[in-house]
Amino acid sequence: MSTPEKDMERQQAAYLDRLAKCHSAILHDVMRAEGLRNFTLPSTLRPLIPGQKMAGPAFTVAGRVDPSAFGHETLLGWTGMLSKAKPGHVLVIQPNDSTVAHMGELSAETLKYKGVCGVIADGGIRDSQSILDIGFQVWHRYHTPRDVVGYWLPYGIDVPVTIGEVRIFPGDYLFGDRDGVVRIPRANLDRVLLLAEEAMGKENLVRTAILEGVDPQEAYLRHGKF
């Protein structure tokens, strides 16, 4: 029996299947051509697993430093955030901090078990080898053994966050590969995917022409893509 929830799950699965065939450069190019701006996350972010793609709608978290917070309070806030994380989503954390780790082994295990697609943290990571071992993708800026206890608290769940020049709203789609991460506004997702698929088809035609000895400029003029 079809329900709105089941229909949404099927649609999201179809989006993720189509995104899995894309790459960030194509998505960047079609969004640029569409006149979109500020959709490429900073190059200071790095994937823990460089060759592993990550895609999904954003589940966003904003946090703040509070050195006066008790350890129990910070752990309640942290585990409460993990409890609310949505399966099939990318957890996006704007910690407003450059000191502690905002993802570690037990948190990554929890999120993977829940079906979360990956994490983008504009901050730190620890327990990196353990997270690598379970194959869970975490984009981050730095490594540190220091954790959030008695120092950091989440204060906003499913709220807009900003990383670099990119404003990310809950439900926007994030796509990351070896080249970087782009944000696809939810309202533009269908068109961006369609244009990306068309562009990849043209790229294949150009590639074939080049391998057949066609001059690169002629290949570009013939297919309108390079």
- The mean of the pLDDT values for the chain is 94
Is 46 annotated among the ligand-binding residues? no
Q: What is the DSSP string of 69-136?
A: S-HHHHHHHHHHHHHHPPTTSEEEEE-S-SSSBS--HHHHHHHHHHT--EEEESSEE--HHHHHHHT-
Is the predicted pLDDT of residue 203 greater than 80, yes or no?
Answer: no
pLDDT in tens, 124-169: 999 999 999 999 999 999 999 999 999 999 999 999 999 999 999 9
pLDDT in tens, 163-200: 999 999 999 999 999 999 999 999 999 999 999 999 98
Is the predicted pLDDT of residue 206 greater than 90, yes or no?
Answer: no
Closest CA to 69 of 147, 124, 122: 147
Bridge partner list, 180: 177
Q: pLDDT band at 1, cuts 50/70/90?
A: low
Please report, rounded to a whole number, the percentage of residues in the chain having pLDDT higher than 90. 83
Torsion angle (degrees, nearest 10) of CA 202, 208, 211, 212: -120
Is 172 annotated among the ligand-binding residues? no
pLDDT in tens, 37-69: 999 999 999 999 999 999 999 999 999 999 899
